[in-house]
């Protein structure tokens, strides 16, 4: 009510003393008070409209522009952050894939190496056994051959000696006759 | 001079001398036997080919070995070869003489090796059989060679017909070695 105090004072000066109001007059202001109030309101309205509102509007606009700018910057930062996050996630995923791939490759290489080593060891073992068997068989054949040759040589030596002693004149003559008979069967 | 030409030259000379002396068949036969004995006997071959032994000594050996068994002409012809330092060629020269002598009679030499001497009848039948087998008129020259053990082997030029016990034993040895 302190804003209405000057208007009320003005109304009190201009008003003539009247009778005590009653009824609706208790609610309605006096005409002078109303006019003074309207004038004061108009003055304040004009003052606010003319000087206060532009400043407020200007400050609000600046404030709005600053907020908009900040929001835009924040949005850009957010987008950038999201992009960086996406890149980071992509890099992490790629690194994880690479790591998994390297581990898989290493495991496969190890498996291949182990398989290869086992295969080579098996092949070498088979080859060693085969060579040993071949050598054993060859040695057996050589020994058998040597024994056979020795037996043959001994047998023939014995036969030669036996024949040399056994071929008498009669046997000689018989061999010569047999030779002559065999010549008869030959043709030139 | 190539060895073959030299052997031919000596053979031709011996042949002419033997023919002039009308002992061609005998000289040829004896030379053939001496050559085979030379081949078979290492001591004889070493004695006659040793350059440290003088020729006179070698001639003495020949006289001792052949003097009473062979004709003087054959002994002289062998001495000629020995004194010429060609004793190592003696078997080849003897073979060539026998071959030329046989050719002169339109015959081929058949070298027959046996373990024992053959009688005339057997030689005659052998000659007939070899004539039929080779298609040539052969002149058999028998060489006694105990290493054949038994049977006969005949060589006519490059043809060899082997029916000896030693050959059969050798075949048996090869058969056993192949198994």
Do B48 and B59 touch, CB atoms closer than 8 A?
no
Give the number of domains in chain A: 1
**In the structure, what pLDDT confidence band is assigned to residue A8 with cuts at 50, 70 and 90?**
low
Nearest to B94 by CA among B38, B21, B171: B38
A162 close contact with B: CB closer than 8 A: no
Q: Nearest CA to B139 among B116, B155, B119?
A: B155
Domain span at residue A44 reads: 28-165
Question: Which pLDDT does position A104 carry in this prediction?
Answer: 93
DSSP per-residue codes, A89-153: HHHHHHHHHHHHHHHHHHHHHHHHHHHHHHHHHHHHHHHHHHHHHHHHHHHHHHHHHHHHHHHHH
Sign of CA dihedral B89, B95, B96, B101: positive
Q: Do B150 and A172 touch (CB under 8 A)?
A: yes
DSSP string, B50-70: -TTS-HHHHHHHHHHHHTTTS
Mean pLDDT on A65-91: 91
A62 in any annotated domain: yes
- A152 and B125 in contact by Cβ < 8 A? no
Asked if B135 has any chain A CB less than 8 Å from its own CB, the reply is yes
Whether A154 contacts chain B with CB within 8 A: no
Beta pairing partners, B110: B140, B156
Bridge partners of B152, per DSSP, are B114, B163
> A88 in a domain, yes or no?
yes
Average pLDDT for chain A = 84
Identify the closest residue of chain A to B113 by CA–CA distance.
A176
* Residue positions counted in chain A: 188
Distance CA B41, CA B72 (A): 22
Cross-chain residue pair A176–B126, CB shorter than 8 Å: yes
**Is A5 part of any domain?**
no
Tell me the longest C-alpha to C-alpha distance in chain B: 59
In a domain, A19, yes or no: no
Q: Is the pLDDT of residue A31 over 60?
A: yes
Please write the tens of the pLDDT for every residue from B5-42.
889 999 999 999 998 999 888 888 888 888 888 888 88
When pLDDT is averaged across residues A31-50 and rounded to a whole number, the result is 90
Neighbours of B41 (CB within 10 A): 13
In this prediction, residues A74-100 reach a mean pLDDT of 92
Q: Is residue A46 part of a domain?
A: yes
| Residue A11 pLDDT class (50, 70, 90 cuts) | low
Assigned domain for A184 exists = no
Q: Residue A113 phi/psi, 5° resolution?
A: -65, -40
Closest CA to B110 of B125, B99, B96, B122: B99
A54: burial class by Cβ within 10 Å (0-12, 13-18, 19+)? exposed
First to last CA, chain A: 171
């Amino acid at each position: 009510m302190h804003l209405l105090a000057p208007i009320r004072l003005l109304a009190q000066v201009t008003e003539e003393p009247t009778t005590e109001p009653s009824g609706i007059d208790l609610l309605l202001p006096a005409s002078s008070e109303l006019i003074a109030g309207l004038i004061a309101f108009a003055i304040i309205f004009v003052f606010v409209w003319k000087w206060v509102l532009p400043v407020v509007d200007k400050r609000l606009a600046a404030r709005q522009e600053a907020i908009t700018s900040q929001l835009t910057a924040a949005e850009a930062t957010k987008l950038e952050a999201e992009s960086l996050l996406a890149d980071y996630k992509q890099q992490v995923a790629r690194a994880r894939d690479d790591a998994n791939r390297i581990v898989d490759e290493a495991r496969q290489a190890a498996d291949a190496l182990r398989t290869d080593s086992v295969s080579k060891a098996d092949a070498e073992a088979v080859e060693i056994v085969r060579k040993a068997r071949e050598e054993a068989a060859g040695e057996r054949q050589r020994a058998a051959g040597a024994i056979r040759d020795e037996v043959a040589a001994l047998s023939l030596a014995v036969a030669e000696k036996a024949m040399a002693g056994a071929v008498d004149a009669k046997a000689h003559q018989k061999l010569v006759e047999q030779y002559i008979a065999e010549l008869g069967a030959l043709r030139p | 001079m190539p060895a073959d030409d030299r052997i031919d030259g000596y053979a031709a000379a011996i042949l002419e001398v033997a023919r002039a002396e009308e002992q061609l068949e005998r000289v040829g036969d004896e030379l053939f036997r001496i050559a085979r004995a030379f081949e078979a006997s290492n001591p004889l071959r070493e004695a006659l080919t040793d350059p440290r032994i003088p020729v006179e000594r070698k001639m003495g050996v020949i006289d001792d070995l052949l003097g009473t068994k062979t004709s003087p002409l054959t002994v002289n012809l062998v001495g000629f070869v020995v004194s010429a330092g060609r004793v190592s060629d003696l078997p080849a020269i003897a073979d060539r003489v026998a071959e030329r002598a046989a050719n002169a009679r339109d015959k081929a030499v058949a070298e027959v090796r046996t373990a024992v001497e053959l009688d005339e009848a057997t030689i005659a039948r052998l000659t007939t059989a070899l004539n039929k087998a080779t298609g040539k008129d052969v002149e058999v020259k028998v060489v006694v060679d105990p290493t054949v053990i038994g049977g006969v082997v005949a060589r006519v030029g490059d043809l060899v017909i082997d029916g000896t016990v030693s050959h059969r034993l050798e075949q048996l040895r090869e058969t056993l070695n192949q198994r």
